[in-house]
Amino acid sequence: MKPACNVATLIERYFTERLIRQRNVSANTIASYRDTFRLLFMFAQVQLRKSPSALTLADLDAPFIGAFLTDIEVKRGASVKTRNLRLTAIRSFFRFVSFEEPAHSALIQRVLAIPSKRYDKRQVHFLTRPEIEAVLAAPDRTTWLGRRDHTLLLVAAQTGLRLSELTGLNRDAVHLGSGAHVRCVGKGQKERTTPLTTLARSALQAWLKEPLRKGATALFPNVHGARLSADSVQSLLGKHVRVAHKSCPSLKAKSVSPHVLSHSAAMELLQAGVDCSVIALWLGHESVETTQTYLHAHLALKEAALAKLKPYERGKRTRFQPNDRLLAFLEAL
């Protein structure tokens, strides 16, 4: 009989040794995986009536993991994409366990065999140039908060930085000399530099002259000098989009998030004729295939391609003529 294997010990080693020490993953990955196992253990507490510290590996078999994934979809209303993200974290843990506890290989392989779900890949949403300009004009630039919000939104719309990259920017990450750019650390802890337009450069130049809030190092701090949270950025963006509705009614039909601003930056580059491989480098995409999604969403490019096709010539309709005696006989019946 296999000895019971305590999950708590394995989880601690997985986070401290595998993720932090060996793989040196980002804080965002740690937070995402932590949330997955927190939800899993809360589910186990209700279903198995066991405290998380008392769970054994045998408790986390494939049927139980499957039930957990179904629960977060049905009861918590999570999307298929989120469900697959939770499964990725669980698979990563069980791959670690396969080396730590080979005696449980049968259970581990059954969990690893749980497939990801397919889902509809919708076209990316983005803002047009008039919509971007309406959002940028919304903040009241006579106030400190308005100037901060305007500069933040302008940098987001022009650079295409992810939300975590935007909030993680420090004042010393901005270079305004020759070849003005911002430097950030993106996914996979890859550092990249993104050039700035003349307008963004001027806005940042003015913003960096603003008095520091309690010695803040963040480029876009809150009123207390601390770094803005993701929720704060989403909130301020929503506020300014609602103001922009008055001058740009088309925004009412769109759900605008910081991610949509990133998509909008990519679409602006695509409309300017920039190659997808360059856009992938600009946005920090691992693969050019990720950037190809913008091509699917760009109707004007498809229309331009269609215009290059030679139209079909209208010919006179002719009756089908069989070329075989037997077929001719059957056609004549």
Same domain, 167 and 301: yes
C-alpha dist (Å) from residue 292 to 214, 276, 295: 43, 7, 5
Same domain, 284 and 194: yes
Same domain, 153 and 293: yes
**Whole-number pLDDT of residue 1:** 46
- What is the Cβ-side half-sphere exposure of residue 104, based on CA atoms within 13 angstroms? 25
Here the tokens at position 238 are: 């929503």
C-alpha dist (Å) from residue 124 to 121, 263, 268, 271, 279: 9, 7, 13, 15, 15
Sheet bearing 174-175, strands edge to edge: 174-175, 181-185, 191-195
Question: Quick one: the chain helix, strand, coil %, rounded to 5?
Answer: 60, 5, 35
Tens of pLDDT along 156-200? 999 888 888 899 899 999 999 888 999 988 776 778 888 998 999
**CATH code at position 165:** 1.10.443.10
**Whole-number pLDDT of residue 301:** 61
Asked if the structure places residue 236 within a domain, the reply is yes
Tens of pLDDT along 239-270? 999 999 999 999 998 889 898 888 888 888 88
Residue with tokens 């997808």: 276
Residue 14, C-beta contacts closer than 8 angstroms, at least 6 positions apart: 93, 96, 97
Tens of pLDDT along 83-113? 999 999 999 999 999 999 999 999 999 999 9
pTM of the model: 0.68
Taking the C-alpha atoms of residue 48 and residue 46, their distance in angstroms, rounded to an integer, is 6
Same domain, 100 and 168: no
Query: Which of 42-46, 74-78, 259-263, 308-312 is predicted with the least confidence, judged by mean pLDDT?
Result: 308-312
Asked if the structure places residue 30 within a domain, the reply is yes
Q: How many residues does the chain have?
A: 333
**CATH code at position 30:** 1.10.150
- pLDDT of residue 74 exceeding 80, the answer is yes
Same domain, 263 and 150: yes
> Which of 236, 246, 280 is CA-nearest to residue 262?
280
Same domain, 149 and 45: no
Q: Which domain holds residue 248?
A: 129-307
* Strand runs labelled E in the chain: 174-175, 181-185, 191-195
**Whole-number pLDDT of residue 322:** 57
Asked if the structure places residue 117 within a domain, the reply is no
**Any idea what DSSP says for residue 103?**
G
